């Protein structure tokens, strides 16, 4: 009954096998390995972007921060949603890697930036001359930290606002695959065709040991990114172990299969919660993350039975057993129907 995070899930066996094969011989370091050559070609093909610059780093925080550092000067501000991962969960890493660029938080329901709110936020900057921050890039989290997914129309509207002001757009795609499966579109449609300039194409949350792809659709930013990656200690010497993971991930659409499995598990969990007389879902499942309100006594019983998930802004212990507390549930590719049913059976016991 593991619903804390898709980071807690196992590495897929095919990825482990690929790592073993990569370990059998010598290979050029620092991304010059033959596997990386194949990975670059595959990603360019998948994204329909033959000139894209493609890099691998081991961490999502590094992928996001280094892209934003490439796009933003120290005196710029980066526009993102109030609940964006770069705001809530990266310990000011974007500010650190950019050399001081700040974040401007933009409102919008269900974790998604509102285009008009974005327009207003951008218009409010570059009005104080040398005394205020300058307009920097827009960062979009897809899927969002609320488990919702921007539609193609949503993305296009945000990118149109950014382009109107001449700023670039970054997509934090830690759960890119989950969003793509939900939208049933192509990677190109969810990125550069909508107006995205660069994407962190995530794998760690979807069955990899630890690797994220950085994709610049305009390769003019490539050299600066390479220098920043090296300076940030994110250029891995035995790079083939990153390349091997990504190659296995992309082979035979494994990345899509894994995302489909985790999304399906979330829908199964959501159905069970909806059938409960106690649970209230914040929204229908769109990716592999759910938020639901349950009374404290339900949370206490579920945790006592061994369920693992996070409470969002509440405490398990308290005087009122009927106080409703929000839970976040995240499913991963290895989530089983049996474990979900065990969880729901314990919920029914309450």
pLDDT, one tens digit per residue, over 121-180 is 999 999 999 999 999 999 999 999 999 999 999 999 999 999 999 999 999 999 999 999
Q: Quote the DSSP letter at residue 218.
A: S
Name 29's Cβ contacts closer than 8 Å, sequence gap at least 6: 237, 238, 239
What is the rounded distance in angstroms from the CA atom of residue 170 to the CA atom of residue 195? 10
Rg (CA), the chain: 21
pLDDT value at position 277?
84
Name 184's Cβ contacts closer than 8 Å, sequence gap at least 6: none
pLDDT value at position 130?
95
Backbone torsions φ then ψ of 171, nearest 5 degrees: -110, 120
Closest CA to 197 of 154, 157, 138: 138
Backbone torsions φ then ψ of 124, nearest 5 degrees: -75, -10
**Residue 293 structure tokens:** 């309100």
What is the rounded distance in angstroms from the CA atom of residue 319 to the CA atom of residue 119? 45
CA 267 vs CA 253, 262, 279, 281, 325: distances in Å? 21, 9, 15, 12, 21
Name 253's Cβ contacts closer than 8 Å, sequence gap at least 6: none
What is the rounded distance in angstroms from the CA atom of residue 131 to the CA atom of residue 138? 21
pLDDT value at position 314?
84
Which residues in the chain show pLDDT less than 50? none
Q: In what order do the strands lie in the sheet with 324-330?
A: 280-281, 289-295, 324-330, 310-311
| Residue 260, SS3 per DSSP | helix
pLDDT value at position 49?
98
Q: What tens digit of pLDDT does each residue of 62-71 get?
A: 999 999 999 9
Q: Quote the DSSP letter at residue 206.
A: G
pLDDT value at position 275?
92
State the angle between helix axes of 60-71 and 222-231 in degrees (0 to 180), rounded to the nearest 10.
Answer: 130
**Residue 301 structure tokens:** 């019983």
pTM of the model: 0.95
Burial of 345 (0-12, 13-18, 19+ CB in 10 A): exposed
Q: Which helix (H) or strand (E) holds 60?
A: helix 60-71
What is the rounded distance in angstroms from the CA atom of residue 261 to the CA atom of residue 148? 17
């Amino acid at each position: 009954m593991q619903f804390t995070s898709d980071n807690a899930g196992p590495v897929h066996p095919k990825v482990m096998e690929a790592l073993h094969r990569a370990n059998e011989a010598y290979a050029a370091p620092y991304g010059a390995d033959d596997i990386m050559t194949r990975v670059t070609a595959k990603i360019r093909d998948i994204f329909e972007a033959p000139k894209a610059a493609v890099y691998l780093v081991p961490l999502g925080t590094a992928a996001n921060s280094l892209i934003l550092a490439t796009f933003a000067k120290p005196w710029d501000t980066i526009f993102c949603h109030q609940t964006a991962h770069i705001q809530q969960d990266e310990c000011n890493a974007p500010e650190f890697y950019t050399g001081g660029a700040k974040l401007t938080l933009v409102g919008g329901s269900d974790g998604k930036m509102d285009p008009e709110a974005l327009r207003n936020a951008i218009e409010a900057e570059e009005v104080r001359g040398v005394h205020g921050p300058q307009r920097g890039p827009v960062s979009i989290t897809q899927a969002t930290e609320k488990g919702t997914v921007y539609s193609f129309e949503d993305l296009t509207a945000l990118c149109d606002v950014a382009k109107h002001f001449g700023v670039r757009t970054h997509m934090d795609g830690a759960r890119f695959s989950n969003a793509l499966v939900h939208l049933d579109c192509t990677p190109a449609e969810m990125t550069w065709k909508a107006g995205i300039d660069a994407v962190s194409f995530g794998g760690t949350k979807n069955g990899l040991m630890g690797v994220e792809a950085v994709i610049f659709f305009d390769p003019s930013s490539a050299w600066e990114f390479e220098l920043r990656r090296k300076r940030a200690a994110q250029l891995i010497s035995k790079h083939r172990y990153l390349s091997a993971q990504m190659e296995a991930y992309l082979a035979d659409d494994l990345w899509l299969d894994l995302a489909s499995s985790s999304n399906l598990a979330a829908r199964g969990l959501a159905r069970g919660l909806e059938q409960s007389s106690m649970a209230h879902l914040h929204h229908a499942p769109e990716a592999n993350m759910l938020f639901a309100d349950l009374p404290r006594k339900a949370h206490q019983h579920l945790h006592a039975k061994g369920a693992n998930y996070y409470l969002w802004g509440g405490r398990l212990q308290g005087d009122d057993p009927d106080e409703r507390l929000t839970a976040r549930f995240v499913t991963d590719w290895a989530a089983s129907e049996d474990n979900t049913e065990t969880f729901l059976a314990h919920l029914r016991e309450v």
